[in-house]
């Protein structure tokens, strides 16, 4: 299995630190609003990476944090007249709903930054003791020049960075020994959440959070650290500097980064009016379509999101779901019996598509080629499976299709289809809950319908529904 390592800028054979185990850390979202589809890409990509490792028999310890203390969270809390803790708690719950709807497996651990402050203080103290950090007026800075390998991940030269202008600098540069020294701890401002430390009452810098949470839940050395390519510099570069200086050993063996997501060939931004949350997309499409779309390109490639491409993904997914549904129908009506010699050949031939899938995924998790192998298997199933085949043969084909789609996180069997009258009854129950201002129950009913592939739309004429 080969992985493209951002650190070496080449594909490398994956060799785990401990045989049969993978320790993987993925930077999670800052929870101040509903997650957007840009957040969704690394979630889907690295969930699929994890699933493939597990398919290959590895025991994966998968840690992904929530950044629950941040300037944006504090700003949102002030706007709403509430606390940062309340804002982050609410949006962590909403994020979990969206992740479940995208069929993202729960992490082994989702640490919260605010629950790990003591460990961060200890790591900062270690960095000061080793001469890698210093305190000025309650703020603690990291000495970038002290760490000789600074820039090895982003392949940036420290001198070039320093001459690159003030855009790279942070506030308080007059206090710093060097303009590119970055903050490990900052004193509180009025109205901000704060914690006690030896230097001031305040809060940690963003970068130290992931260094400490990775160390606590995975150890001083990990196999894979992953995230969006926008995190390479400065976030991941600074994590390396902190962790390797504090722990005295290599931090992560492999660094994986997914490419950017554009909307109609333009960068996603609220000012351009092309900013979409996962929740908004769920009102138009089953989020399985979003997942399938995200995996239709190689994770390192830039990905363009558009209505046309989503419709194409929906049609492609439908081909797979239809083949699976047809297989289940045929198997339900097929006779029991041992495989014939011809059927054994059929299943052996199907295995070559499984091998094609594995070859694609072994080559830096090439989901685009893996999906192509699934389509080849579907084509083979459609031309081979019919009413003359035994239940064993049909079940064997279905098992192969299910296994591959499960690695991709695509659900091909959603169980019994919901009847129209059941949908209408649930909508009435939701409307009654809304009248009684029981919005939690109303949301629960809406989410339950969504999980069954039913999308609700509240209009002036009443509630309309459609199947995704």
Query: In this structure, are strands 462-467 and 454-459 parallel, antiparallel, or unpaired?
Result: antiparallel
Domain membership flag for residue 415: no
Between 109 and 165, the more confident residue is: 109
Domain membership flag for residue 48: yes
Angle (CA) 34 35 36, round 5°: 115
Q: Are residues 436 and 387 part of one domain?
A: no
Q: Is the pLDDT of residue 414 over 90?
A: no
Provide the pLDDT for residue 420.
75
pLDDT mean over 47-76: 97
Last residue of one domain, picked from the residues 383, 407, 431: 407
Q: Are residues 436 and 388 part of one domain?
A: no
Q: Is the pLDDT of residue 168 over 50?
A: no
Q: Are residues 157 and 78 part of one domain?
A: yes
Q: Which of 223, 196, 207, 219 is nearest to 127 (CA)?
A: 207
Measure Cα distances from 137 to 45, 71, 141, 353 in Å. Answer: 42, 20, 11, 63
221: domain range?
Answer: 2-258
Give the model's confidence band at 250: pLDDT under 50 very low, under 70 low, under 90 confident, else very high: very high
Q: Are residues 356 and 225 part of one domain?
A: no
Instruction: Spell out the residues 6+ positions from residue 448 whose beta carbon is closer than 8 angstroms to its own.
Output: 426
> Cβ–Cβ contacts within 10 Å for residue 93, how many?
10
- Six-digit token pair at 270? 């609220």
CATH number of the domain to which 355 belongs: 1.20.120.640
Give the model's confidence band at 448: pLDDT under 50 very low, under 70 low, under 90 confident, else very high: confident
Residue 224 near residue 23, CB atoms below 8 Å: yes
Between 356 and 417, the more confident residue is: 356
Provide the pLDDT for residue 165.
45
Lowest mean pLDDT among 25-34, 116-125, 352-361, 444-453: 444-453
Between 164 and 325, the more confident residue is: 325
Q: pTM of the predicted model, to two decimals?
A: 0.87
CATH number of the domain to which 139 belongs: 3.40.50.620
Last residue of one domain, picked from the residues 407, 441, 456: 407
Q: Are residues 346 and 210 part of one domain?
A: no
- DSSP-derived letter for residue 133 is E
H or E segment at 141? strand 139-142
Q: Are residues 374 and 252 part of one domain?
A: no
**CB-side neighbour CA atoms (13 Å) of 6:** 27
Q: Are residues 131 and 91 part of one domain?
A: yes
Predicted confidence (pLDDT) per residue in 143-163, tens digit: 999 999 999 999 998 888 876
Q: Are residues 435 and 339 part of one domain?
A: no
Domain membership flag for residue 281: no
Domain membership flag for residue 384: yes
Q: Are residues 329 and 229 part of one domain?
A: no
Provide the pLDDT for residue 133.
98
Distance from the Cα of residue 147 to its chain's centroid? 30
Q: Which of 371, 256, 302 is nearest to 2 (CA)?
A: 256
pLDDT mean over 427-449: 87
Q: Are residues 195 and 75 part of one domain?
A: yes
Q: Are residues 382 and 355 part of one domain?
A: yes
Domain membership flag for residue 294: no
The percent of residues in the chain predicted with pLDDT above 70, rounded, is 96
Q: How many domains does the chain have?
A: 3
Give the model's confidence band at 184: pLDDT under 50 very low, under 70 low, under 90 confident, else very high: very high
Q: Is the pLDDT of residue 416 over 90?
A: no
> Cβ–Cβ contacts within 10 Å for residue 61, how many?
19
> Scanning the structure block, which residue is given the tokens 């492999």?
254
**CA distance linking residue 400 with residue 190, whole number of Å:** 59
Domain membership flag for residue 270: no
pLDDT mean over 108-129: 98
Predicted confidence (pLDDT) per residue in 274-298, tens digit: 889 999 999 999 999 999 999 999 9
Q: Chain-wide mean pLDDT for the chain?
A: 93
Q: Is the pLDDT of residue 14 over 80?
A: yes
Q: Are residues 374 and 444 part of one domain?
A: no
- DSSP-derived letter for residue 30 is B
Domain membership flag for residue 171: yes
**CA distance linking residue 374 with residue 153, whole number of Å:** 35
**CA distance linking residue 120 with residue 205, whole number of Å:** 9
Domain membership flag for residue 102: yes
The percent of residues in the chain predicted with pLDDT above 90, rounded, is 81
């Amino acid at each position: 299995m080969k992985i493209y390592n951002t650190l070496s800028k080449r594909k490398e054979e994956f060799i785990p630190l401990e045989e049969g185990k993978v320790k993987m850390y993925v930077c999670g979202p800052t929870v101040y609003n509903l997650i957007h589809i840009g957040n969704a890409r690394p979630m889907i990509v690295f969930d699929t990476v994890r699933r493939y490792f597990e398919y290959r028999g590895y025991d994966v310890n998968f840690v992904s944090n929530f950044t629950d203390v941040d300037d944006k969270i504090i700003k949102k809390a002030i706007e709403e007249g509430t606390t940062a803790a309340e804002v982050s708690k609410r949006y962590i719950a909403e994020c979990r709903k969206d992740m479940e709807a995208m069929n993202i497996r729960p992490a082994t651990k989702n640490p919260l930054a605010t629950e790990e402050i003591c460990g961060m203080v200890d790591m900062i103290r270690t960095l000061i003791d080793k001469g890698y950090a210093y305190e000025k007026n309650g703020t603690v800075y990291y000495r970038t020049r002290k760490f000789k390998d600074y820039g090895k991940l982003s392949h940036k030269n420290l001198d070039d960075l320093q001459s690159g202008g003030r855009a790279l600098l942070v506030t308080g540069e007059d206090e710093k020994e060097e303009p590119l020294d970055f903050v490990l701890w900052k004193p509180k401002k009025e109205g901000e959440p704060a914690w006690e430390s030896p230097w001031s009452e305040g809060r940690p810098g963003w970068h130290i959070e992931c260094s400490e949470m990775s160390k606590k839940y995975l150890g001083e050395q990990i196999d894979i650290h992953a995230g969006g390519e926008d995190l390479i510099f400065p976030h991941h570069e600074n994590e390396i500097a902190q962790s390797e200086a504090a722990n005295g050993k290599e931090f992560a063996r492999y660094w994986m980064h997914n490419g950017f997501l554009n909307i109609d060939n333009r960068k996603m931004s609220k000012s351009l009016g092309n900013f979409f949350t996962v929740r908004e997309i769920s009102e138009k499409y089953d989020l399985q379509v979003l997942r399938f779309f995200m995996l239709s390109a190689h994770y390192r490639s830039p990905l363009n999101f558009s209505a046309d491409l989503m419709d194409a993904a929906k049609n492609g997914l439908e081909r797979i779901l239809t083949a699976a549904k047809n297989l289940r129908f045929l198997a339900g009506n097929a006779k029991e019996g041992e495989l014939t010699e011809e059927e054994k050949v059929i299943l052996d031939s199907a295995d070559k598509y499984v091998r094609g899938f594995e070859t694609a995924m072994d080559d830096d998790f090439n989901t685009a080629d893996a999906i192509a192998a699934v389509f080849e298997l579907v084509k083979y199933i459609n031309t081979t499976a019919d009413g003359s085949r035994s239940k064993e043969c049909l079940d064997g084909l279905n098992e192969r299709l299910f296994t591959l789609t499960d690695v991709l996180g695509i659900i091909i069997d959603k169980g019994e289809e919901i009847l129209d009258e059941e949908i209408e009854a649930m909508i009435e129950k939701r409307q009654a809950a809304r009248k009684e201002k029981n919005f939690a129950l109303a949301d629960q009913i809406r989410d339950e319908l969504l999980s069954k592939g039913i999308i609700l739309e509240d209009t002036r004429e009443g509630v309309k529904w459609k199947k995704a």
